Amino acid sequence: MDYLQLATQYLEPKLQGKYIYLDSILPILQTLDSDFEITEIGKSVQGRGIHQVKIGKGTTKILMWSQMHGNESTTTKGLFDFFNFLKSDNEIAKRIKSDYTLLCIPMLNPDGAFLYTRENANKVDLNRDAFNATQPEMQILHSIYKSFQPDYCYNLHDQRTIFGTEGFNLPATVSFLSPAFNESRDYNDVRLKAIHVINKMNSVLQCYIPNQVGRFDDGYNVNCTGDYFTTQNTPTVLFEAGHFVGDYDRDIVRKFIFISLLSSFSDSYENVIVDKELNNYLNIPQNNKCFYDFIYKNVKIIENNVEKIINFAAQYSEVVIEGHLKFIATIVNIDELDNYEGHIEYDCEEGLFLSKGLHNPILNEKADFFINNLTEFNNGVKII
């Protein structure tokens, strides 16, 4: 099966870029056919609707939710691409709808999505509210979980561009986790079932992004949604959409999320062979904080009247300005870059740094500068 061809064929064209909010998805929800049951299941803090999409009539039930963090939209795009596939007459789509019942919440935090923040409108991180459920959005997720009683949960997120795969120093384009159920991070049947799903997805993704699949840290925190549902004896899979070279809008990475979702249904969920499954999972390289968006090497600076050669790094922050997402590059690290890579690297060949009359970079300043007063860098990027 050519998974990448399917991901391209069923890509939802109305969802592009990273700024995806409720008004982006509502018109698409209205186009889903009669196979899909669309229900508003509650309201956010600011009164925006939260919707569920239900499809399939099978005995194995899977609950999925995306944009728990409002500024993490890649998996939402991948989920709508997957809906397009399920609408089709593809035999695999028919089998999935026959064997499974899927209940999907494509945007759990619509306020955060509109404001482009991780938190909800009360400035609460919903992924730290699972145990106490103080927020209306988390209360809705709890209610759906209890009424649906899923056999599996898919917890869909994005991760920052700083993550790579340990030992390879390649971008962690997709990462997974079978969350822990206790402080000791032991493995039980619940975690092993989630691991089995992860191993299926990883084996397919290696054909497309070899050594760019990571394993997220499994430190235990019962306030985190995945850990909480695992303690409730529901196998839960954390998805983290990461960086692919040049793809800051994550319109390539969404295809790997589609591939992940589709390949998770590739065979039975049963017959887990413990030793093999656990070893395969633990062989997935861990996420490692080893990247910056930009690294500038061999830069001459003058500090306290002393010349020296340094390296420094800049990182994008993401800000919505007048309804459009902007990437703002700022200087975040100066000369402490051992074991770091840049998604974009420049060799400045010992050219002299200049910005605002200074010959040395300043932390948290925008990455606008000149080298040798000739080569301009604007918002991190070399101007040719």
pLDDT in tens, 103-123: 999 999 999 999 999 999 999
Report which DSSP code applies to 290: -
Other C-beta atoms lying within 10 Å of the C-beta of residue 261: 26
3-state secondary structure (DSSP) of residue 245 = coil
Taken in order 158, 162, 165, 171, the sign of the CA dihedral is: positive
Residues 310, 242 share a domain: no
* Per-residue burial over 307-320, b = 16 or more CB atoms within 10 Å of its CB, e = otherwise: eeebbbbbbbeeeb
Single out the residue in 289, 313, 335 at which a domain terminates.
289
Single out the residue in 238, 266, 289 at which a domain terminates.
289
Structure confidence at residue 271 (pLDDT)? 56
**Region 23-42 average pLDDT:** 95
Task: Please give the Cα distance from 19 to 12 (Å, whole number).
Answer: 15
Residues 315, 176 share a domain: no
Structure confidence at residue 312 (pLDDT)? 98
Residues 117, 93 share a domain: yes
Structure confidence at residue 272 (pLDDT)? 57
On the question of pLDDT at 273 being above 90, the answer is no
Residues 162, 279 share a domain: yes
pLDDT in tens, 133-177: 999 999 999 999 999 999 999 999 999 999 999 999 899 999 999
**CA distances from residue 282 to 33, 179, 214 in whole angstroms, order as listed:** 41, 13, 10
Residues 155, 112 share a domain: yes
Of 160, 1, 174, 14, the C-alpha closest to 91 is 1
Residues 299, 280 share a domain: no
Structure confidence at residue 267 (pLDDT)? 74
Mean pLDDT of the chain: 96
Residues 360, 338 share a domain: yes
Residues 59, 126 share a domain: yes
pLDDT in tens, 300-330: 999 999 999 999 999 999 999 999 999 999 9
Residues 223, 143 share a domain: yes
Q: What does pTM read for this prediction?
A: 0.96
Task: Please give the Cα distance from 289 to 163 (Å, whole number).
Answer: 5
The tally of domains found in the chain comes to: 2
CB-hemisphere CA count at 13 Å for 345?
A: 11
Residues 378, 297 share a domain: yes
Structure confidence at residue 268 (pLDDT)? 54
The distance in angstroms from the start CA to the end CA of the chain is 42
- pLDDT tier at 34, thresholds 50, 70, 90: confident
Which amino acid is located at 169 in the chain?
N
Would you call 183 exposed, middle or buried from its count of C-beta atoms within 10 A (0-12, 13-18, 19+)? exposed
Enter the tokens of residue 197.
Answer: 């799903």
Q: What is the DSSP string of 160-173?
A: -TTEEETTT--B--
Look up the CATH number of the domain holding residue 319.
2.30.40.10
- Under 8 Å between Cβ of 14 and 28: yes
Structure confidence at residue 194 (pLDDT)? 97
On the question of pLDDT at 54 being above 80, the answer is yes
Residues 295, 279 share a domain: no
Per residue, the 3-state secondary structure of 57-77, as one string, reads CCCEEEEEEECCCCCCCHHHH
Task: Please give the Cα distance from 273 to 368 (Å, whole number).
Answer: 55
Sheet holding 369-371, edge to edge: 324-334, 306-321, 291-303, 341-354, 369-371, 375-378, 381-382
Of 276, 280, 281, 272, the C-alpha closest to 189 is 272
Single out the residue in 222, 256, 289 at which a domain terminates.
289
User: Where would I find the H helices in the chain?
Assistant: 3-9, 22-29, 74-87, 91-99, 110-115, 136-148, 189-205, 225-231, 253-263, 274-282
Distance of alpha carbon 379 from its chain centroid, rounded? Answer: 24
Query: What share of the chain has pLDDT > 90, as a percent?
Result: 95
Task: Please give the Cα distance from 60 to 265 (Å, whole number).
Answer: 11
On the question of pLDDT at 365 being above 80, the answer is yes
**Region 177-198 average pLDDT:** 97
Of 35, 32, 261, 52, the C-alpha closest to 148 is 52
Enter the tokens of residue 154.
Answer: 């898919």
On the question of pLDDT at 270 being above 60, the answer is no
Range of the domain at 110: 3-289
**Region 363-383 average pLDDT:** 97
- pLDDT tier at 124, thresholds 50, 70, 90: very high
pLDDT in tens, 243-264: 999 999 999 999 999 999 999 9
On the question of pLDDT at 185 being above 90, the answer is yes
Residues 320, 278 share a domain: no
**Region 193-219 average pLDDT:** 97
Look up the CATH number of the domain holding residue 59.
3.40.630.10
